[in-house]
Amino acid sequence: MTRIKIFDTTLRDGEQSPGVNLNKSEKLEIAKQLEKLGVDVIEAGFPAASVGDFEAVKLIADTIKDSTVTALARCVKSDIDRAWSALKDTKNPRIHVFLATSPIHMEHKLKMNEDEVIETSVECVAYAKEKFKEIEWSAEDATRSDLDFLVRIITKVIDAGATVINLPDTVGFTTPEEYGAMFKYISENVPNIEKVELSTHCHNDLGLAVANTLAGIENGATQIEVSMNGIGERAGNAALEEVAVLLHIRKDFYPYHTRAVLKEIKRTSDLVSNLSGMQVQRNKAVIGQNAHSHESGIHQDGVLKNRETYEIITPELVGVTDANTIFIGKHSGSHAFKEKIAEFNMSLSDEESKAAFKAFKKITDVKKDVTDDDIYAILMEIKSES
Ligand code: KIV
Ligand code: ZN
């Protein structure tokens, strides 16, 4: 089983979600929870972006013991110096430097040609090497870059001292086949590739971030960059909880494992959601409120007979303690209703049970959320009539 390292970017790319702004004590609280969740690397922020972010990264670097702490820097000496000041006291300081490699970014944003991008990257990695042992270099917009240019630049930044090479799908443009093929090509054509770790970083613009991450893993990536609840720029990043649970649930098929403590997922998800203000959609995979609820009568009947009929992820696995497993609503059947009314400890004859079920079905046609109080009222009425 190959070990996959989780690099969490909730506090950096996640904080780049429009409308999200975390102060340093909020960031520290999330970082401590990420450490409990067992993430290998915490990207704490972008120290050159603001004084507040510098202070947050420093506080996290000085506090966290069981995860590597890293911070983002442009390929600019002053950014690298700032990151070093924030990170120098942590156990394994890692810098994460990046430069764009796609024609559209090089021409319009950087106004540099390929040789200049190579030279700048090599210089910045060599400069970072004077301070940091661990250097991650990212080819921003890798998935829209020329593969042979990527081979040339990656070979050079490894020679300059990079220890991790990250190939981001910056704009969420790629597909699993293409993303996997890129990792394969890089692994087979960069002569010094065995000196480094390869990393994925997938955005979710086309809803493929998790699938692309998996394709990267299958083609040689041993680090995955993900965020809690999938928050991040635009449509977000690959969701940590989805990849970690996927690798656990389908270990029959995928020979990979992470060090994630899955029962900490719910607590981490709630914390990130509360502090960031980014609500988790109800039907979100793994952690949404509906992810562990069954409404249709057929499904409920199956689950009541054997949970595994319709449940591949138990709420307990991801630390959900208050799952509304059997959702009593319009589509519920008599089996689930019987289980529900048993909670009220009232003895009902068969006739009364049937009448209660009929009254319940009538209410579901006009009310979306049938509450325990509604059911109690039905039962009281049936009892008073008999
Ligand atoms: O999406 C991206 O390319 C990034 C880089 C800074 C790694 O977030
Ligand atoms: Zn990103």
pLDDT along the chain (386 residues), means of 10: 98 96 98 98 98 98 98 98 98 97 98 98 98 98 98 98 98 98 98 98 98 98 98 98 98 97 98 98 97 93 95 97 91 93 92 94 90 94 87
Q: In this predicted structure, what is the pLDDT of residue 123?
A: 98
SS3 98: strand
- Assess whether the C-beta atom of 138 lies below 6 angstroms from ligand 1: yes
Ligand 1: distance of its center to the CA of 253 in Å?
30
Ligand 1 pocket mutation, candidates 16, 72, 97, criterion most atoms within 8 A of CB: 72
Ligand sitting nearest the alpha carbon of 70: 1
Annotated binding site: 13, 201, 203, 237
Q: How far is CA 351 from CA 53, 206, 348, 385, in A?
A: 66, 53, 8, 12
- Assess whether the C-beta atom of 46 lies below 6 angstroms from ligand 1: no
Annotated binding site for Mn(2+): 13, 201, 203, 237
Q: In this predicted structure, what is the pLDDT of residue 197?
A: 98
The tokens describing 363, both together, are 């209410």
Question: How many residues in the chain?
Answer: 386
Ligand 2: distance of its center to the CA of 138 in Å?
10
Look up the ipTM and state it: 0.99
Contact 232, 218 (CB under 8 A): no
Q: In this predicted structure, what is the pLDDT of residue 199?
A: 99
Ligand 2: distance of its center to the CA of 225 in Å?
9
- Strand segments, DSSP code E, in the chain are 2-3, 5-8, 41-43, 68-74, 94-100, 134-140, 164-169, 197-202, 223-226, 256-257
How do 134-140 and 164-169 pair as beta strands?
parallel
Contact 244, 265 (CB under 8 A): yes
- Assess whether the C-beta atom of 140 lies below 6 angstroms from ligand 1: yes
Q: In this predicted structure, what is the pLDDT of residue 164?
A: 99
Listed residue (60, 14, 2) closest to 35, CA to CA: 60
